[in-house]
């Protein structure tokens, strides 16, 4: 009888674990598909909604900003009120915001919808790993996280391809609308098959003052950096928002130190592995956000790739990440994550370095000798990194802090994306403008045409030659635009490579063997 009960208990636990993986994988895939497909669809979105390059940066950063600011709140709410409940709320909000994004008639509609989508993602994303950590025994947790990493990548491997195909046929809005069926299936699995879990010791209030301060801080810095190329750093709106953002972040640190229920429990950082993994996350994911954003624009706007072809270039990356994640997660359980966390980011940096030397290529026929080796190194490096990184973060703290730890790590990765895109995006706009001016100053064109060209600088690779000039001059200007954007891309991608190598150094210094 006891043996039968034991077998039934094991069977029930296995069934629960299976449904936990199904629901967390599908929910995470919503966010991952949204990100990977959107990067490829950005040129089509830019043309359809008549967005400037600065507005494109805001479409990315409006989402990342809310995600970075509120993920910690999402993790804390899950620990206190129930991870399943908060996870489900995030899925529902993400679906509604995705519908609004898919129907957006203008940039003025799209950016607020992306803000709401970021709020939904902040409740959704930390719940995935927190539910897995609470549902799996420690000896199976690393393998489960590896399965989650591999499966979510497998589900999202077609994200860039879908983004390219949808854009080429004029249906880029489906990038957002595809989240609706995924969300419905996830909610059904979650409601009927996944048990609730929470931190029974979490009794204090949620740290809303901390959340408000970190939101204001990141918003101020992001707005200031994205506005600087157009308005100049001497503009009061720019330096005032930068200073206000910095002051809010400093005040946030003081609030967290004094709070009895901090959103960021500082004692978690006493673990050098937890600190090292989060520093690695900051530099690596900052580099990845910037590198993939500019790579998609470069392929379509300068290198002559169609949007579908640009999406297909990411397939080797996704396949390697899928193939290696489960294996790397299982091996990290046995031998520790340190070696993977050094080697992986170093390889990603080498991939970015390779792509930085490509320059203006002959287009898709030369892909295998130009961008393919770099994409291959990116996939190999991230495949070695993702699961061991998640495992090291989640196992370096007590299980009852799993939601908070996941929230902190996700906040770090999203904050890295916000700041990296804001800073390098500002640098890119300035560098592109200088390069284009130096290439076109000697061209004989009327002053009105030169003024039109100057107004196009904000579109970077999507800039157009002025109207009313002859075809030969227009071709020369378009060539100058492409060359200037490629030069800008090279600078950005070299910065990304350097950030990856700093991430590897953080792992070597702080992550324990």
Among 80-94, 202-216, 274-288, the least confident range: 202-216
Do residues 381 and 321 lie in contact, with contact meaning Cβ atoms separated by under 8 Å?
no
Rounded to whole angstroms, how far apart are CA atoms 240 and 230? Answer: 15
Average pLDDT estimate for 395-405? 74
**For residue 419, which of 285, 297, 295 has the smallest C-alpha distance?**
285
Q: Are residues 151 and 216 in the same domain?
A: no
Q: How much helix, strand and coil, in percent to the nearest 5, is found in the chain?
A: 85, 0, 15
Average pLDDT estimate for 298-312? 89
Angle between helices 107-135 and 138-156 (to 10 degrees): 150
Range of the domain at 172: 2-207+259-433+487-510
pLDDT digits (tens, 9 = 90+) for 170-229: 888 988 998 898 888 888 888 877 777 766 666 667 777 887 888 788 778 877 877 776
SS3 466: coil
- Extract the tokens encoding 190: 């979650």
Percentage of the chain lying above the pLDDT 90 cut? 25
Tell me what pLDDT residue 494 has.
97
In a domain, 482, yes or no: no
Do residues 325 and 142 lie in contact, with contact meaning Cβ atoms separated by under 8 Å?
no
Q: Are residues 186 and 272 in the same domain?
A: yes
Number of domains in the chain: 2
Rounded to whole angstroms, how far apart are CA atoms 83 and 60? Answer: 27
Average pLDDT estimate for 498-503? 97
Q: Are residues 167 and 227 in the same domain?
A: no
Q: Cα dihedral sign for 416, 417, 422, 425?
A: positive
Q: Which letter does DSSP use for residue 459 in this model?
A: G
For the ranges 82-86, 293-297, 453-457, the one whose mean pLDDT is highest: 293-297
Q: Is the pLDDT of residue 4 over 60?
A: no
In a domain, 296, yes or no: yes
Rounded to whole angstroms, how far apart are CA atoms 180 and 162? Answer: 15
In a domain, 87, yes or no: yes
Q: Is the pLDDT of residue 153 over 70?
A: no
Angle between helices 315-335 and 338-356 (to 10 degrees): 160
In a domain, 458, yes or no: no
Q: Are residues 219 and 197 in the same domain?
A: no
Q: CATH number of the domain at 18, please.
A: 1.20.1250.20
The residues, ordered by sequence, that sit 6+ positions from 465 with a Cβ below 8 Å of its Cβ are: 453, 473, 474, 475, 477, 478, 481
Q: Are residues 240 and 379 in the same domain?
A: no
Q: Are residues 388 and 502 in the same domain?
A: yes
pLDDT digits (tens, 9 = 90+) for 349-389: 999 999 999 988 999 999 999 999 999 999 999 999 988 89
Higher pLDDT, 394 or 179: 179
CA atoms within 13 A on the CB side of 31: 27
Q: Is the pLDDT of residue 10 over 70?
A: no
Tell me what pLDDT residue 447 has.
82
């Amino acid at each position: 009888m006891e043996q039968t009960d034991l077998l039934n208990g094991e069977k029930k636990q296995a069934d629960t674990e299976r449904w936990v993986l199904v629901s967390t994988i599908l929910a995470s895939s919503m966010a991952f598909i949204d990100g990977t497909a959107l990067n490829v669809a950005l040129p089509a979105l830019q043309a359809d909604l008549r967005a400037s390059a600065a507005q494109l940066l805001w479409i990315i950063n409006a989402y990342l900003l809310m995600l970075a600011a509120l993920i910690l709140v999402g993790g804390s709410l899950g620990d206190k009120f129930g991870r399943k409940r908060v996870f489900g709320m995030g899925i529902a909000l993400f679906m509604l915001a995705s519908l609004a994004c898919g129907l957006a008639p203008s940039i003025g509609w799209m950016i607020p919808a992306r803000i709401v989508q970021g709020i939904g993602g902040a409740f959704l994303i930390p719940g995935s790993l927190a539910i897995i950590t609470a549902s799996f025994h420690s000896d199976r947790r690393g393998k489960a996280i590896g399965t989650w990493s591999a499966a979510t990548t497998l589900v999202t491997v077609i994200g860039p391809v879908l983004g390219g195909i949808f854009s080429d046929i004029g249906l880029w809005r489906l990038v957002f609308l595809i989240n609706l069926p995924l969300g419905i299936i996830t909610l059904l699995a979650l409601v009927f098959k996944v048990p609730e879990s929470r931190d029974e010791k979490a009794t204090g209030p949620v740290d809303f003052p901390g959340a408000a301060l970190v939101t204001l801080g990141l918003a101020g810095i992001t707005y200031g950096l994205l506005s600087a190329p157009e308005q100049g750093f001497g503009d009061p709106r720019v330096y005032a928002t930068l200073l206000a953002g910095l002051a809010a972040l400093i005040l946030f640190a003081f609030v967290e130190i004094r709070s009895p229920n901090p959103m960021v429990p500082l004692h978690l950082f006493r673990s050098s592995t937890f600190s090292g993994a989060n520093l690695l996350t900051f530099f690596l994911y900052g580099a990845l956000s910037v590198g993939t954003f500019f790579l998609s624009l470069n392929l379509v706007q300068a290198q002559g790739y169609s949007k579908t072809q640009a999406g297909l270039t990411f397939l080797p990356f996704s396949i390697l990440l899928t193939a290696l994640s489960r294996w790397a997660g299982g091996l990290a359980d046995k031998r520790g994550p340190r070696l993977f966390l050094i080697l992986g980011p170093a390889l990603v940096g080498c991939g970015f370095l390779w792509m930085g030397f490509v320059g203006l290529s002959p287009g898709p026929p030369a892909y295998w000798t130009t961008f393919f080796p770099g994409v291959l190194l990116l996939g190999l490096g991230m495949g070695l990194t993702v699961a061991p990184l998640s495992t090291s973060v989640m196992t370096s703290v007590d299980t009852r802090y799993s939601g908070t730890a996941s929230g902190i790590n996700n906040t770090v990765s999203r904050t890295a994306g916000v700041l990296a895109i804001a800073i390098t995006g500002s640098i890119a706009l300035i560098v592109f403008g200088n390069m284009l001016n130096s290439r076109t100053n000697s061209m004989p064109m009327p002053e009105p045409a030169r003024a039109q060209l100057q107004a196009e600088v904000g579109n970077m690779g999507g800039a157009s030659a002025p109207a009313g000039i002859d075809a030969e001059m227009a071709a020369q200007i378009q060539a100058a635009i492409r060359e200037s954007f490629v030069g800008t891309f090279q600078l950005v991608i070299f910065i990304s490579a350097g950030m990856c190598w700093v991430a590897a150094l953080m792992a070597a210094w702080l992550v324990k063997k």
